[in-house]
Structure 1
Amino acid sequence: MPEVRLPGGPNYVMGTPGAWSVPTAPFVSRTVFAAAHVVADPFADNTPGAPAVVDWETTLAFRRHLWSWGLGVADAMDTAQRNAGLDWAATRTLIALSAAEATGPLACGAGTDHAGALSSPGEVLAAYEEQVAFVEDTGAQVILMASRQLAAVARGPEDYLSVYGTLLKQVARPVILHWLGEMFDPHLRGYWGSSSVPDATETLLSIIAQHPGAVDGVKVSLLDASHEVSLRRRLPDGVKLYTGDDFHYPALIRGDSSGYSHALLGVLDPIAPAASAALGFLDTGDLDAYDATLAPTVPLARHLFAAPTSAYKTGIVFLAWLAGHQPAFAMVGGATTARSLPHLVETFRLADRAGLFPDPELASARMRAFLAVHGA
């Protein structure tokens, strides 16, 4: 196997790729979406504040990769750099192209990020309505993304009840609600009208209870497994809990005697083949094989999503480049600098230990080139 001279140590000998096979039938025990990243055009001016310039064909090829492993795609989410470099013009194109391309389940984020500063819940509602209509027109399922603007103008739970209540009366098919914690986006502190998680949970449950049939599920990204299990047990029948917990996903998806979580996760972007294999084992009831397959991915996930958690996208794109899914390590908004060299070196090491590089020769050559640019 190839070797790479990593900073501060002897030559690192790469491991062997995971021996995973593309599934031949849809998974039946869980509904699983991988939140997908976008591939920036490396020759464009993708600097902070500049309009996003995307390599569309490579971006779509990566979505085909995810669908080929039996996973659904959650698009135009924070993993795709919403509110972090992907502007609304590029987002509209992304949603339309992904919907036209889809060979598997597709859900897309509808938010308010195109509208700039807003001064009232009514203006937030109008912004939501515009994006929801666009996503529905493409045929994709709607994910009602948490809104920075609503968090800024809401006076309390009643404004969330009003905005979400109106939207849920209008949607054409059941949507996925989105609870993104402040570790992912500090602008969302106090979402659902309270900085108290128990109080916020009650507001969320009230919204769901008041609109039966309008909510397919809720994605929860608080990195708090005990809270997720508690919330999961209180959801009405037929409403899914989609785990967004990139630290504890194996146990939450596996479940316990009281139930289990489905998944909508950014970490599934780099670990798609391993996740696919694990879901296959779950479908056949082989829990030992399920556990053994996902266990090596957990150290990588916890490293990728370490504080500042919002910078996780950088590691995910870095791995996509090393794995050969894109020709360059480039991101919209200039976000390649959001993680340090030591962080990315450890990302490489942990991904290799999890067997996630399908071509070790390519991964090692790209890692050596990356280190050379950094003077290592």
Structure 2
Amino acid sequence: MIELPEYDGTLTAYQPRTAPRVFTPSADPIRSRAVFSTAHVVADPLAPNSPLLMGWEPFAAPGLDWDATLAFRRHLWAHGFALAEALDTQNRAMGLDWATSAELIRRSAAEARAVGGRIGGGVWTDQLDPMRPHTLDAVVAAYEEQIETVQDAGAELIIMASPQLPAVAQGPDDYARVYERLLSLAERKVILHWVLPESDPRLTGYWGYTEWDKALEAFLDVVQANVERIDGVKVWPLGREQEIELRRRVPAGVHVYNGDITDFPELIAGDGQGHSDALASVFDPLAPIVAEGFRALDAGDGDRFAEELRSTLPLAQHLFEGNALTMRFFKTGFVFLAWLSGHQDHFRMVWGEQSARSVPHLAKVYRLADGLGLFPDPELAERRMRTVLATAGLD
């Protein structure tokens, strides 16, 4: 029995599992849907990783534990997922600079070739100084540099929305020209990743409009004009009805990738007029259960698929709890679960985010994950949870 703290300051007794749930990994790609997972990075616990020191010499470069970082990617490939590398789950621009992101893409892509895994790499403009204005040509050049790096590594392109672009683009025609140029460089089909201003206010006015309907039309115009170069699109955060509208309006053959934490079982299962695929950060900690669900869907068992994915919703939503500002610390729970599960030897993060969530939050993460049977070694997970409690004065 272990006593876990609640948000109201009380303690609740909890009896942990004594045996893990047994999963049977398969590295065969999931067939029923296109499924990408992102993957957190593992910090070097002895590196001077701190949000107050990043960018200041001699603390400019984040320190990663490369062996553990790549081992976690092998864990995801072993369950059949494709990997979306160097996005926000990897602390991109939140402790992880472009130089380290480029090295991460190169190393992960080499590992993907070794194990036969699929990988896409995030293309952005984060080498540009965020405190200075930039020209449209400079934004395009930044994108081009990253495209070259990702393709030289052998990864597919995931083109993310640049926060510098709305400041210099004069309207939808500029966006059309920029994306036509970027897509013309693609050696394989590309995923377009558009984050809405509800999550990142810097992207207000993306595609040339602040109104959703007009921005969507401009976006779809770009997709239609370049359809032969586009694998799929991800728009986030997107409501259920908006995603259904999007997938019914994209050209045939273009995937719509879901990444939400509320309706993903239903949206991925689909309806009589289509389904969503997935490019999801929350699959990082949920991989064994989610993979079981997709294997069931591969076998034609939609009920089992729905049961498995719906079982993860309470944990998924808890990991992302908070407003637009605090929700970004979902990675704290990811790393915490990886540590409890034995995927890494410590609970430290490159931006100091191990302290970004409260002890009651982490206690609930532990309880929900243990209830799902996610821990390969429940005794190890309990010991490590007790260490966190003792550090907080709850010995």
TM-score (norm 1): 0.96
Q: What secondary structure, in the 3-state scheme, does the structure 2 residue paired with 1:27 have?
A: coil
Q: Given the alignment of the two structures, is residue 107 of structure 1 paired with residue 120 of structure 2, yes or no? A: yes
1:117-171: CA deviations, max 9, x gaps? 4422221111000000110011100100121111333333233222112111221
Instruction: Please tell me the root mean square deviation across aligned C-alpha atoms, in Å.
Output: 1.5
Aligned-pair CA distance for 1:310:
1.5
Equivalent-residue separation in structure 1 for 2:206 and 2:368 (angstroms)? 34
Aligned to 1:9: 11
Aligned to 2:161: 146
Q: Given the alignment of the two structures, is residue 164 of structure 1 paired with residue 179 of structure 2, yes or no? A: yes
Equivalent-residue separation in structure 1 for 2:203 and 2:296 (angstroms)? 36
Aligned-pair CA distance for 1:56:
0.4
Aligned to 2:211: 196
Q: Given the alignment of the two structures, is residue 321 of structure 1 paired with residue 362 of structure 2, yes or no? A: no
Letter in 1 for 2:12: P
The equivalent position to 1:20 in structure 2, one of 23, 48, 66, is 23
Aligned to 1:207: 222
Equivalent-residue separation in structure 2 for 1:77 and 1:325 (angstroms)? 20
CA pair 335-155 structure 1, distance change in 2 beyond 3 A: farther
Equivalent-residue separation in structure 2 for 1:369 and 1:223 (angstroms)? 38
Letter in 2 for 1:107: G
Aligned to 2:249: 234
Equivalent-residue separation in structure 2 for 1:81 and 1:342 (angstroms)? 23
Cα contact 1:109–1:142 (8 A) shared by 2: yes
Letter in 1 for 2:21: G
Q: What secondary structure, in the 3-state scheme, does the structure 2 residue paired with 1:295 have?
A: helix
Aligned-pair CA distance for 1:9:
2.5
Aligned to 1:222: 237
Q: What secondary structure, in the 3-state scheme, does the structure 2 residue paired with 1:271 have?
A: helix
Note the residue ranges of structure 1 that are not aligned, 5 or more in a row.
Answer: none
Aligned to 1:61: 71
Aligned-pair CA distance for 1:189:
3.2
Aligned to 1:173: 188
Cα contact 1:35–1:79 (8 A) shared by 2: yes
The equivalent position to 2:62 in structure 1, one of 52, 59, 66, is 52
Cα contact 1:32–1:72 (8 A) shared by 2: yes
Cα contact 2:27–2:77 (8 A) shared by 1: no
Aligned to 2:202: 187
How many residue pairs match? The answer is: 374
Q: What secondary structure, in the 3-state scheme, does the structure 2 residue paired with 1:92 have?
A: helix
Aligned-pair CA distance for 1:183:
4.5
TM-score (norm 2): 0.91
Q: Which runs of 4+ in 1 moved over 6 A?
A: none
Equivalent-residue separation in structure 2 for 1:65 and 1:253 (angstroms)? 23
Letter in 1 for 2:350: V
